[in-house]
């Protein structure tokens, strides 16, 4: 019985009081966020993490079980500030109250920079930033896929630039959250959806500027993986010129702003018209130069003595033709003689090897009743019929006697 009464006093056992305190704490401080700096960080062989969260006046022991921190986005260490989500409870065996962490987020610029650096080093080791895997951006895309917020300034800037530079280019928007809880997962899913659809020729992934916290979704691993796995070339356009995110390192091309991304992906119609006009002028000049050079050569030929004496040219051509034909006939005759000699030599060799040729010289071949060639007298018995092949015809004989050498 909890709280036994003795002489008007309510008495608890140690276990009872720890249990009740645990119930009070868990009912009131379940699912709370706690801000603090990490100290006394230790990782147990079981994978559980034990640490202390502190501020300037106080501290609390905390435990982070391994099944909760498997998806941790950065490595914890002493000195970094974090936001920890979990519950306050009591470890009854020791009567020690502590914070049980279920989730951790980086807090403050220093911690975020550390998380950024850790993620950058991890993905770089895996080869996600390799220059040789980056694909070229198509020069004249028919459809541009944009993955950003539908309510942000980024999409309006992109649409304005594209319509001004090359109206008629299709823009396909995939609206996503670009900051806050679940933003990274939405951005990654948007990239995968664009790839599944297959219509865009290039993707712009980004948002307008903001603090490091605002841009953090573009530093998360799901976004980096989705960009890396995209079959469609990706341009990252996150923040302002000085803002760099993990997405920028993985993307095929980085643009400092969404407007700059639109300018990079869509050529200016006016610039193209000016280039075409320039190419046309250069082509026209080149063709005129070629025509002038051939005109000069033609005039030189017309002014030559040979051109004024066509019979002379005809005679020279006839002589060269006759000489050429004589060379052809001579070469063919020599080739034909050589081939005949080779044919006779080969025919002679074949005749020597031909069994019929051997028979023609007076030899014969005898065959056993089974049809095999007789090589040994012992292979036939008396009374068996054998066939002897001559140059002309054959003889059937009956064996009377065999002799062995």
CATH number, domain at 50?
2.40.50.140
341 found inside a domain = no
Residue 313 belongs to a domain: no
Same domain, residue pair 22 and 65: yes
145 and 239 inside one domain: yes
- Is the domain of 134 the same as that of 251? yes
Residue 270: the pLDDT is 56
What CATH code is carried by the domain that includes residue 169? 3.40.50.261
Residues 160 and 208 in one domain: yes
Domain count, the chain: 4
Is residue 279 one of the residues assigned to a domain?
Answer: yes
**Quick one: 260 and 134 in the same domain?**
yes
Q: What is the pTM of this model?
A: 0.54
Check whether residue 43 and residue 58 sit in a common domain.
yes
Identify the residue with better confidence: 114 or 355: 114
254 and 144, same domain (yes or no): yes
Q: pLDDT-based confidence at 283, cuts 50/70/90?
A: confident
Q: In sequence order, which ranges of 205-256 are alpha helices (DSSP H)? A: 221-229, 246-250
pLDDT of residue 98: 94
Q: Is residue 157 a part of any domain in this protein?
A: yes
Judgement on whether residues 177 and 247 belong to the same structural domain of the protein: yes
- The per-residue pLDDT for 312 is 67
pLDDT at 146: 96
Task: Please work out, in degrees rounded to the nearest 5, the angle formed at the alpha carbon of residue 127 by the alpha carbons of 122 and 130.
Answer: 125
Domain boundary among 267, 288, 322: 267
319 or 309, higher pLDDT: 319
% pLDDT > 70, the chain: 90
Q: Which tops the pLDDT comparison, 347 or 336?
A: 336
Q: Which of 120-129, 196-205, 347-356 has the lowest mean pLDDT?
A: 347-356
Domain identity same for 186 and 288: no
pLDDT of residue 305: 64
Q: Tell me the C-alpha distance between 248 and 334, whole Å.
A: 74
End position of a domain, from candidates 243, 267, 291: 267
- Tens digits of residue pLDDT in 218-253: 999 999 999 999 999 999 999 777 778 999 999 999
Residue span of the structural domain in which 41 resides: 4-106
pLDDT-above-90 percentage for the chain: 41
Do 96 and 146 sit in the same domain of this protein?
no
Position 169 scores a pLDDT of 85
Task: Give 120-162 pLDDT, tens digit per residue.
Answer: 999 999 999 999 999 999 888 899 999 999 998 999 999 999 8
Residues 145 and 256 in one domain: yes
In-domain check, residue 318? no
Write down the pLDDT at residue 260: 92
Q: Is residue 309 part of a domain?
A: no
Domain stops at, among 267, 289, 323: 267
Query: Do both 95 and 32 map to the same domain?
Result: yes
Higher-confidence position of 355 and 212: 212
């Amino acid at each position: 019985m909890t709280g036994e009464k003795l002489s008007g006093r309510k008495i608890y056992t140690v276990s009872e009081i720890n249990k009740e305190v645990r119930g009070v704490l868990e009912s009131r401080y379940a699912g709370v966020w706690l801000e603090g700096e990490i100290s006394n960080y230790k990782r147990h062989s079981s994978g559980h993490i034990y640490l202390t969260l502190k501020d300037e006046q106080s501290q609390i022991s905390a435990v982070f079980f391994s099944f909760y921190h498997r998806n941790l986005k950065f490595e914890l260490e002493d000195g970094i500030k974090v936001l920890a989500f979990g519950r306050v409870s009591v470890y009854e065996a020791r009567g020690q109250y502590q914070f049980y962490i279920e989730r951790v987020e980086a807090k403050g610029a220093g911690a975020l920079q550390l998380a950024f650096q850790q993620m950058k080093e991890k993905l770089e080791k895996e080869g996600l930033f390799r220059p040789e895997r980056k694909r070229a951006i198509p020069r004249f895309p028919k459809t541009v896929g944009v993955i950003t917020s539908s309510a942000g300034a980024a999409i309006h800037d992109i649409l304005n630039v594209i319509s001004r530079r090359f109206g008629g280019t299709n823009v396909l928007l995939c609206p996503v959250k670009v900051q806050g809880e679940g933003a990274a997962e939405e951005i990654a899913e948007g990239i995968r959806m664009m790839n599944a659809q297959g219509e865009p020729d290039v993707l712009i992934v980004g948002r307008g500027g903001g603090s490091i916290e605002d841009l953090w979704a573009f530093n998360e691993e799901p976004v980096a993986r989705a960009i890396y796995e995209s079959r469609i070339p990706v341009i990252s356009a996150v923040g302002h010129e000085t803002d760099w995110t993990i997405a920028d390192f993985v993307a095929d091309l980085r643009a400092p702003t969404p407007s700059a991304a639109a300018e990079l992906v869509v050529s200016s119609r006016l610039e193209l018209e000016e280039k075409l006009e320039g190419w046309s002028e250069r082509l026209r000049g080149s063709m005129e130069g070629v025509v002038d050079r051939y005109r000069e050569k033609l005039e030189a030929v017309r002014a030559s003595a040979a051109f004024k004496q066509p019979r002379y040219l005809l005679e020279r051509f006839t002589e060269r033709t006759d000489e050429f034909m004589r060379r052809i006939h001579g070469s063919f005759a020599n080739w034909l003689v050589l081939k005949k000699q080779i044919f006779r030599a080969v025919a002679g060799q074949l005749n020597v090897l031909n069994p019929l040729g051997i028979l023609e010289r007076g030899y014969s071949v005898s065959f056993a009743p089974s049809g095999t060639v007789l090589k040994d007298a012992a292979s036939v018995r008396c009374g068996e019929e054998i066939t002897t092949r001559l140059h002309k015809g054959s003889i059937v004989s009956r064996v009377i006697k065999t002799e062995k050498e």
